Structure 1
């Protein structure tokens, strides 16, 4: 068990803008403040500052846009953001991306925020988009103050919150490779001061890759209480259960030519699975909690206090290609892929407390938007892994990439 604690002091930010007449302010685009009108909730790190007055490059991906494009995953949504590129996602088992070329630690999922809380730590699997109100892409080194330190930028996911208007939606979808998905969202005001909301999704899918099948359950109940005209309390729970086979893709076949060794990536079909179907899926589970109290100190100043706690687990078998050339047969005969077999059992616990005060001060015709905040994180990770690794002379667990035999007995990882 390796505990890791951090105390992060957030930006003391002051941005100066020329004060506008109230009539001009009233004509600001509704999209900049629509999330404040219904529930009175402020945006973490932004407060009530209009986006055009924030001295930073920020891109918003609204939930309506994701629905219109039928986007169900975070990694697909980020394809719409400029400056964001996909990275090694550990065989499809987590989200990994780079912003402006900065990828962070590729041995862990990429760092992102959820409602201002550090949500990327742990093994939460590929994040589902069923509970996304919007995605905020904060670009440039200024965003490192809000994330895990990557200077390229930070992703903040804003989840759907209860409102005081009853309604909901329900959808059923089907697609290629026997993909079926059911998604629901229902909001219910209980009184004039209390509302609840439930979002969730169930997905079952095969793949263009032979024998690969995934399953996912996502559930996000949330609660909002207006304790007074100036105080709002919110709570939400996150439950995720996913089963995803660990899968590294196809291999390129080495060929000796007059100019040296070249590698042919199209020698076998993309449908070919080079792992062991009998390994079964890697199972990912998440149980998380977030609570936040917002209190308006005045018309211009607000304080937000929050706490989060999340447990994640990640366990399963996998059959992986051997990476050491002295043990790998495929470089010799072009068809025999030497494999290892691993068992992973990872778990994490993450606790965070955060506070933020934001407001405005005016000096003559200049308005200063000021924010002061601090976060405290404690992250514990427990990793257990065993491995079967054959010696060079032992090819009993190798696979013929042109004629795979999935009945080969699987060795027990024991080292």
Structure 2
């Protein structure tokens, strides 16, 4: 049970008895909950007579046919009990034969996290690759896909999404192609948004802190009619903040209403809408002195960025979802969901050409960066349809929960996208541009002061110039981007079988994948692929708190539509990516199921991955390497050790290497941004002493071992970063103060090459005030 106003929790003894001592005078709402039962709340006043007793009876909750998350969850801790992402139906995590890691909204609030990069440290085997949206590595493999409420969401945007409307962030480990089409073998991120609640809750939070940060968010939910058949939730968020990075930071806004309609006990309808807008600049990372100068991570400050004052990036994301669940009987239900996503980008950037300047003899100048400008406007649309039937029945001693369904995912880049780019070197007559400098033919180029003249002036790392630069002074190349379309659909079948302490998951998928090249053009043609994908998993529960599991899963990923549709830019043709995974582990619960400790060991193989070709002429060129293998072990801890002591911790040992390549020198090389060791811990303690009533403290630390970049000569060092927080709750107010990177450790969270490193934030603070009413 929990006293909401004081954020104090208590656990009953074996007889169901409980008590709270030394409570301040006032009125309180007591919340009672237990897995498998409906939650209940009562209101009371202090003081009460010593003879007064509360008799609370919870009613069993029938959740076995729930197939989509329609209503908000009442769990209010670092531990999450059930998930939909692994099986399409609500399944206890301990009964799912694969690793699922997560971060709950309570941890998000305690760490005052605002974007996904703020919470990755809490999840095992997940590491930052760059600053960009969903650009992470999971179990050593670079991730590219994402889910929102179990539906495939595009990751076109550069800016990271906000967390104000997020209930929890889950990472389902290993390939998940069975339900979600093409998926990365390391794992897939699923964002679960907040859903309406049946009781009124309202909160407003304001935060400010380092780098001129101003942040406001609110959360309103409750019934809209007396019958409580129509519920709403409205999440709002706004942030205006600068950054430790030069000319970075910006403005973010989120509006996220959600409605649930429950006309009867058999039908549930949910509508979600998310409007997200970001105004910023595109941060391509920190450049350092060139490779010929040796590895000099400190040759430029971590605040160093390449940009111009008139650069901008305006992004709009709109997401709308309709979900309908209907029970035909106590044993059969159907779920239908449709999600529509719009992405709109308006961009101007001065960025590197991923190379350093050269002199007339072709010698690299390690302190001057070759530059290019990109002016781009584009849109894309994504459609996702999911339809499946769930049937629960018995055959003799076997209990079945059978799922059969169909899904369709489409991404369209319409006609109208356009770029206006400048790069390369001026020709001898200064009337045109040559993309690459050829030291053997200097007569073709305009030469001044012993150097070929660039179309876009070089950026001096020793004397940066951030002034306004008018792109019309360059020789620009306007291009209309080709329209593109990719779609996939599949039929899937799953049977979750229970026989006493043994549970099995058997699943099959037949997937169809189509890329449309030159979409809506006279020479339009289709590239079709298909794949049959199996999955099998077993769970054995010798005693109730312990589950032992194992699984085998395959994955499949056709190359993305933009890469297939533009071989001149990206290269190719390329073979599709395939993967297979073997995994086993143990999931346990302690302290009356308040604490979960999950371990996993795995072996994953992925074939035909694409990596940057590091081509001097074409920075977008890709090349394909044969096979990568990931092996590792991981541990996740989430929940409460005491009623007033919450903890989350993770440890991972991972070795992801290239096992087959056309270049023998690459074999045995560790994949970029895939640390061999990772660990973290965060603990929060709330005092029970009357003199410190409402006071809490928290502290944590995170360790990342050294990592390779995409350049074999550049290795990022290991680091340990410590964080701390202080809390004070009184009446309906909550004050939070977070100090991040307490010891001001200089570190890099990811990196590509000498010209694109991604440093971590120095010591910073954030102070927030929240009011619940």
The structure-2 alpha-carbon separation of the partners of 1:253 and 1:115, relative to structure 1 and needing over 3 Å to count, comes to same
From 191, 211, 216, the counterpart of 1:157: 191
Q: What's the offset of the Cα at 1:120?
A: 3.0
TM-score of the two chains, using structure 1 as the length reference: 0.82
Pair 1:149–1:407, CA change in 2 (3 A): closer
| CA positional deviation for 1:400 | 1.9
Query: Alignment partner of 2:106: what SS?
Result: helix
Q: Quick one: which of 293, 300, 324 aligns to 2:324?
A: 293
Change (3 A) 1:48 1:248: closer
**Deviates further, 285-294 or 315-324:** 315-324
Say if 2:386 is the partner of 1:354.
yes
CA contact (8 A) 1:172 1:183 kept: yes
Q: Which has the higher contact order (CA 8 A, sep 6+)?
A: 1
- The offset of 1:95, in angstroms, is 2.2
User: Judging changes above 3 Å, is the alpha-carbon distance between structure 1 residues 286 and 47 closer, same or farther for their aligned structure 2 residues?
Assistant: same
Give the match for residue 61 of structure 1.
103
**1:314 aligns with one of 340, 345, 348:** 345
Give the match for residue 242 of structure 2: 206
SS of corresponding position for 2:141: coil
Contact 1:144 1:154 in 2 (8 A): no
Shift of residue 28 of structure 1? Answer: 4.8
List per-residue Cα deviations over 1:98-149 (Å, max 9, x = no partner).
2222225xxxxx3111111112343373111111111222112345532532
Pair 1:38–1:308, CA change in 2 (3 A): closer
Q: Which runs of 5+ in 1 are unaligned?
A: 1-25, 105-109
Q: Which residue of 1 aligns with 2:275?
A: 239
Larger proportion of helix = 1
Indicate how the Cα distance of structure 1 residues 241 and 331 shifts in structure 2: closer, same or farther if over 3 A, else same. farther
Q: Which residue of 1 aligns with 2:461?
A: 401
For the pair 1:230 / 2:266, whether they are aligned, the reply is yes
Deviation at 1:71, TM superposition (A): 1.4
The residue correspondences of 1:325-364 to structure 2 (distance < 5 A) are 332-364=364-396
How big is the shift at 1:291? 0.3
Residue pairs, 1:9-48, within 5 angstroms: 28=35, 39=71, 43=84, 45-48=87-90
- Alignment counterpart, residue 141 of structure 1, candidates 175, 178, 195: 175
Distance 2:112 2:36 in 1: 26
Which has the larger displacement, 393-402 or 161-170? 393-402
- Of 46, 67, 77, which aligns to 2:119? 77
CA apart distance, 1:246 = 1.3
Distance 2:181 2:109 in 1: 27
User: What is residue 269 of structure 1 aligned with on the other side?
Assistant: 301
* RMSD of equivalent CA atoms: 3.0
Alpha-carbon shift at residue 87 of structure 1 (Å): 2.0
Match of 1:215 in 2: 251
Deviation digits for residues 15-62 of structure 1 (CA, Å, limit 9, x no counterpart): xxxxxxxxxxx9757799899799499946442432222222222322
Residues 137 and 405 (structure 1), Cα distance of their counterparts in 2 relative to 1, 3 Å cut: closer
Q: Deviations over 1:286-329 (max 9, x none)?
A: 12210010112222332110111111111211111122457689
CA distance in 1, matches of 2:188, 2:300: 38
Deviation at 1:410, TM superposition (A): 3.1
Change beyond 3 A, Cα 1:331–1:114: farther
Contact kept, 8 Å, 2:147 with 2:188, in 1: the verdict is: yes
- Summarize deviations over 1:51-106 as a string: whole Å, max 9, x none: 222222222322112111211112322331112222234xx4x22122222225xx
| Residue 411 (structure 1) aligns with | 471
When Rg is computed on C-alpha atoms for both structures, the one with the higher figure is 2
**Residue 143 of structure 1 contacts residue 153 of structure 1 at CA under 8 Å; is this kept in 2?**
no
In the alignment, the residues of structure 2 paired with residue 48 and residue 333 of structure 1 have an alpha-carbon distance, to the nearest angstrom, of: 58
Residue 164 (structure 2) aligns with: 130
Find the residue that maps to 2:465 and give its secondary structure.
coil
Per the alignment, do residues 189 and 303 of structure 1 end up closer, same or farther by CA in structure 2, a change over 3 Å counting? same
The Cα shift of 1:188 comes to 2.8
CA-to-aligned-CA distance 1:173-202 (integer Å, 9 cap, x gap)? 112111111011001311121011100100
Q: SS at 1:295's partner residue?
A: strand
Unaligned runs of 5+ in 2: 1-32, 40-60, 74-82, 426-436, 438-451, 478-773
Q: Which residue of 1 aligns with 2:17?
A: none
Give 1:384 shift: 2.5
Aligned partners of 1:386, 1:190: CA distance in 2, in Å? Answer: 50
Which string of whole-angstrom CA distances, capped at 9 and with x for unpartnered residues, describes residues 367-414 of structure 1? 223222221122102442221114052246222222222336433362
Alignment coverage as a number of residue pairs = 377
Inter-partner Cα distance in structure 1 for 2:123 and 2:105: 14
- Asked if 1 retains the 8 angstrom alpha-carbon contact of 2:290 and 2:367, the reply is no
